[in-house]
A and B are shown apart, each in its own frame.
Chain A
Amino acid sequence: MSILELNNVHTFYGNIHALKGITINVNEGEIVTLIGSNGAGKTTTLRTIQGLLKPREGSIKLKGEEISKIPAHEVVKRGVSQSPEGRLTFPRMTVKENLEMGAFQRSDKEGIAADMEKVFGLFPRLKERISQRAGTMSGGEQQMLAMGRALMANPKVLLLDEPSMGLAPILVDLIFDIIRELHRQKTTILLVEQNARLALGVADRGYVLETGEIVLKGDAKDLLTSPEVKAAYLGERGH
Chain B
Amino acid sequence: MINAKKTLLHNTEAIAIVGMGVVALVTGGYNTIICAVLAGFLIGLTAERKTGSIARAAVVGLIASVITAICGYIYNTYVIKLPEVDNQAPDQIVNYPLFVAVVVGTLVAALVAAIQNIPVEKRRKQGIMIFMLACALLFPFFDQCPTLAWNQFGIGSAIDPTVGCTTQKTLIWVNAAIVTIIFAIQAMGLNIVAGYAGLLDLGYVAFFAIGAYTIGLLNSNHLVDQGVMSADNIFLKYKIMFWIAIWVCAAMAAFFGLMLGAPTLPLRGDYLAIVTLGFGEIIPVAAKNLEVVRIFEPISLFLRQLAAPVGQSLDRIDAYGFFIKNTLCIFGCGPAGLNVTNGTKGISPIFAPSIAGYTFKVGEYVPWYLLALLIMAVSAFFIWRIRDSRIGRAWVSMREDELAANAMGVDLVRTKLLAFIIGAMFSGFAGGFYGSYVSFIEPGSFAFDISVIVLAMVILGGSGNIVGVLVGAFLIKIVDLVVLEKIKQLLNGLIQHFLIVGADNPGLGAFIQRFLDATSFKVLILGLILVVMMKVRPEGLIPAATAKRQA
Contact = CB atoms under 8 A, between A and B. Distances in A.
Interface of A: 50, 52, 71-74, 76-77, 81-82, 84, 88-97, 100-102, 104-105, 130-131, 133, 149, 153
B400 A73 contact: no
Interface of B: 390, 393-394, 396-397, 400-401, 403-412, 544-545, 548, 550-551
5 contacts: A88-B401, A88-B407, A90-B404, A94-B548, A131-B550
A185 B243 CA distance: 60
Contacts of B412: 73
Nearest to A83: B407
A237 B402 CA distance: 43
Nearest to A149: B408
A89 B394 contact: no
A134 B3 CA distance: 32
Contact of A92 (B394, B403, B545): B545
A23 B390 CA distance: 37
Given A93-B397, A97-B393, A131-B551, A76 B545 contact: no
A89 B410 CA distance: 14
Contacts of A153: 408-409
B407 A84 contact: yes
Contact of A73 (B390, B404, B410): B410
B546 to A, nearest CB: 11
A92 B405 CA distance: 13
Contact of A90 (B390, B400, B550): B400
B407 A92 contact: no
Contact of A104 (B394, B403, B545, B550): B394
B396 A90 contact: yes
B551 A72 contact: no
A130 B550 CA distance: 9
Contacts of B404: 84, 88-90
B408 A102 contact: yes
A90 B198 CA distance: 14
Contacts of A74: 409
A149 B409 CA distance: 12
B133 to A, nearest CB: 29
B389 to A, nearest CB: 12
Q: Which residue among A81, A84, A90, A96 has the maximum number of chain B CB atoms within 10 Å of its CB?
A: A90
Given A84-B403, A84-B404, A104-B390, A93 B409 contact: no
Contacts of B403: 52, 84, 88
B265 to A, nearest CB: 15
